[in-house]
């Protein structure tokens, strides 16, 4: 739709005005730093940073109902820069001009309601928000669009001349980083560090296909992360992990979309999210807070963070009810099917601690909860979801298992509606499904496949068949007829089909 066709009241706000005053803010010391540099940790105290718009208060001048309409009408605009996460430009990157924005089709992912049998089994009305339907098939694209748009802006304004982007990854960060970097080549090149044999073949194929330099490092993700941190401390590289605060900013769009997709009414709503490096839950909390503070939503939804018992440092931290007595201890991870979240020392933990406290305060009571699930439950619920029309990854299965856990412990009441974050596409993690179906899980996973969920292909090979077709070789007509007839009969017998009565 063209600008002149929108209501007069909306027109002045339809295209975002470039404004705001963004700074990095140290999470411990509260010091601020200029955004004309790439910064990952506080130069004063070494803690992680968050980005802040010092003019955020000005967003409150526009009433909530106008903002709601602006976002709804913006969806009808055909401006590529505003099609993805920058639909919420004023909240995500107010200082970025539209022509610096990189849009590869990320964001605006569907919310799919579970069918009646699955809702009955679970006992709640719930939905998956399918972030696997992003361009690199995980939610990481939200943050990468933000980080790379910012870097693109630095390049365009001449603040930097060329960039080597690096990241450590459990698979999806590198897939996303390599994709966005390749769009901006040759001025941006990327190198990704992966824990050797700890990412799936599909995830490995992605940065290779995008032309990134792929470096495999012995150990698990936490070891990789230490190497990439040392690299970004000592060398001139752009770090694309969620330690980079621009990533967090872009991922806040997930919350804005949920608000919009429920017509900004989040009363009795609960959002469930898996936790790995804790960047995603940081962004989700922060996003809802910003919409709440500007009157765009008037209720903060409940948030439930889920961890596997094989990688559960955040869950353990919050086991202690007295906030003054809580001490964070990293854990040594064990093999997990929620491999993208298999992290023992989450980089965003200080951000989580800050934001959870603020969220509970603003929500006037406990609004953020943490649950733990078994590897078995993750697999069983992933397979159950996908046998009911979903495309959730193992981490998506983890959120459904987490919902069950939360229901059992009384955290989610009967009249609440739940949005589960399916963080990636099921196909990225099909190897775990294969191990389940073939009963080939190494013992350390502690998973015993259930017969009713297993599935495998059957080769149809009728006993009387003399010759079968092969590529490049044609069967004689009567042989081919025989092949079709025998194969059809065999299939009918397998499927127990009754022959149609012919008139
Ligand atoms: C990265 C990732 C996670 C974990 O998110 P964090 O921000 O690291 O907590 C979960 N699921 C998938 C599919 C991921 O790629
Ligand atoms: Zn500091």
Asked whether residue 267 falls in the same domain as residue 353, the answer is yes
Q: Is 140 in the pocket of ligand 1 (CB under 6 A)?
A: yes
In this structure, are 329 and 478 located in the same domain?
Answer: no
Q: Give the residues across from 417 on adjacent strands.
A: 125, 269
Nearest CA to ligand 1 atom 8: 277
160 assigned to some structural domain: yes
With a cut of 50, list the residues of the chain below it in pLDDT. none
Question: Quick one: 194 and 123 in the same domain?
Answer: no
In a domain, 227, yes or no: yes
Same domain flag for 185 and 257: no
- Whole-angstrom Cα distance, residue 258 to residue 251? 12
**Do residues 437 and 412 share a domain?**
yes
Adjacent-strand bridge partners of 269? 417
Statement to judge: residues 402 and 334 lie in one domain:
yes
Please state, in angstroms and rounded to a whole number, the distance separating the CA atoms of residues 153 and 108: 23
Which numbered atom of ligand 1 lies nearest the CA of 423? 13
Q: Is residue 291 part of a domain?
A: yes
Residue 59 DSSP symbol: G
293 — phi, psi (to 5°)? -70, -20
End-to-end CA distance of the chain, in Å? 56
Q: Is the minimum distance from the CB of 172 to ligand 1 under 6 angstroms?
A: yes
If one residue of 276, 303, 402, 421 were mutated to test the ligand 1 pocket, choosing by the most ligand atoms within 8 A of its CB, it would be 276
Cis peptide before 186 (omega within 30 of 0): yes
Q: Are residues 499 and 487 part of one domain?
A: yes
Does ligand 1 lie within 6 Å of residue 382's CB atom?
Answer: no
Is 355 within a domain?
A: yes
Determine, yes or no, domain membership for 100.
no
pLDDT of residue 4: 86
Per residue in 186-218, pLDDT tens? Answer: 999 999 999 999 999 999 999 999 999 999 999
Q: How far is the CA of 235 from the centre of ligand 2 (A)?
A: 21
Whether residue 433 has its Cβ less than 6 Å from ligand 1: no
Q: Are residues 131 and 143 in the same domain?
A: no
Tell me what pLDDT residue 502 has: 87
Which residue, of 226, 244, 262, is where some domain finishes?
244
Residues 435, 314 share a domain: yes
Q: How far apart are CA 392 and CA 420, in angstroms?
A: 10
Structural domain count of the chain: 3
Tell me, yes or no, whether 365 and 221 share the same domain.
no
Distance from Cα 263 to the centre of ligand 1, integer Å: 27
pLDDT at residue 409, as a whole number: 97
Does any domain span residue 74? no
pLDDT on residue 242:
92
Residue 200 lies in a domain: yes
Name 190's bridge partners.
Answer: 165
Which of 453, 474, 495 terminates a domain? The answer is: 453
Range(s) of the domain holding residue 466: 460-503
Mutation to probe ligand 1, out of 139, 333, 392 (largest number of atoms < 8 A from CB):
139
**Per-residue confidence (pLDDT) for residue 69, from 0 to 100:** 97
- Both tokens of 149, joined, read 């748009």
Please report whether residue 8 resides in a domain: no
């Amino acid at each position: 739709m063209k600008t002149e066709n929108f209501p007069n009241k909306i027109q002045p706000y339809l295209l975002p005005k470039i404004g705001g005053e963004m700074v990095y803010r140290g999470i411990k010391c509260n010091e601020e730093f200029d955004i004309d540099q790439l910064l990952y940790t506080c130069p004063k105290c070494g803690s992680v940073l968050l980005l802040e718009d010092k003019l955020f208060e000005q967003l409150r001048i526009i009433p909530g109902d106008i903002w709601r309409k602006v976002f709804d009408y913006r969806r009808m605009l055909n401006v590529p820069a505003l099609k993805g996460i920058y639909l919420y430009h004023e909240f995500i990157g107010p200082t970025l001009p539209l022509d610096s924005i990189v849009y590869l089709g990320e964001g605006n992912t569907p919310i799919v309601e579970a069918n009646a049998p699955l809702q009955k089994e679970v006992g709640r009305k719930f939905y998956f928000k399918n972030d696997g339907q992003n361009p690199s098939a995980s939610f990481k694209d939200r943050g990468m669009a933000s980080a790379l748009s910012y870097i693109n802006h630095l390049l365009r304004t001449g603040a930097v001349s060329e960039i080597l982007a690096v990241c450590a990854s459990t698979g999806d960060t590198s897939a996303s980083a390599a994709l966005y970097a390749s769009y901006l080549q040759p001025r941006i090149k990327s190198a990704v560090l992966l824990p050797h044999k700890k990412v799936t073949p599909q995830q490995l194929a992605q940065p290779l296909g995008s032309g990134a330099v792929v470096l495999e490092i012995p150990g698990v993700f936490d070891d990789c992360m230490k190497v990439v941190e040392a690299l970004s401390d000592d060398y001139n590289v752009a770090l694309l992990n969620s330690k980079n605060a621009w990533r967090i900013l872009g991922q806040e769009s997930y919350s804005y979309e949920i608000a919009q997709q429920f017509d900004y009414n989040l009363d009795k709503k609960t959002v469930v999210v898996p936790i790995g490096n804790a960047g995603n839950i940081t962004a989700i909390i922060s996003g809802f807070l910003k919409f709440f503070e500007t009157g765009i939503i008037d209720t903060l939804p409940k948030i439930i963070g889920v961890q596997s018992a094989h990688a559960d440092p955040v869950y353990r931290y919050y086991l202690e009810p007295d906030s003054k007595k809580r001490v964070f201890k990293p854990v040594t991870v064990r093999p997990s099917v929620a491999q993208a979240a298999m992290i023992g020392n989450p980089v965003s933990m200080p951000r989580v601690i800050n934001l959870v406290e603020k969220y509970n305060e603003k929500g006037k009571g406990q609004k953020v909860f943490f649950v733990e699930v078994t590897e078995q439950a993750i697999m069983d619920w992933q397979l159950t979801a996908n046998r009911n029309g979903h495309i959730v990854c193992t981490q998506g299965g983890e959120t459904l298992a987490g919902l069950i856990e939360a229901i059992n412990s009384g955290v989610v009441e009967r009249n609440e509606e739940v949005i589960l974050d399916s963080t990636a596409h099921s196909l990225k993690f099909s190897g775990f499904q294969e191990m389940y179906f073939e009963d080939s899980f190494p013992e350390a996973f502690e998973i015993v496949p259930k017969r009713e969920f297993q599935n495998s292909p059957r080769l149809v090979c009728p006993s009387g068949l003399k010759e079968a077709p092969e590529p490049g070789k044609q069967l004689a007509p009567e042989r081919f007829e025989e092949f079709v007839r025998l194969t059809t009969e065999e299939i009918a017998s397998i499927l127990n089909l009754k022959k149609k009565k012919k008139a």
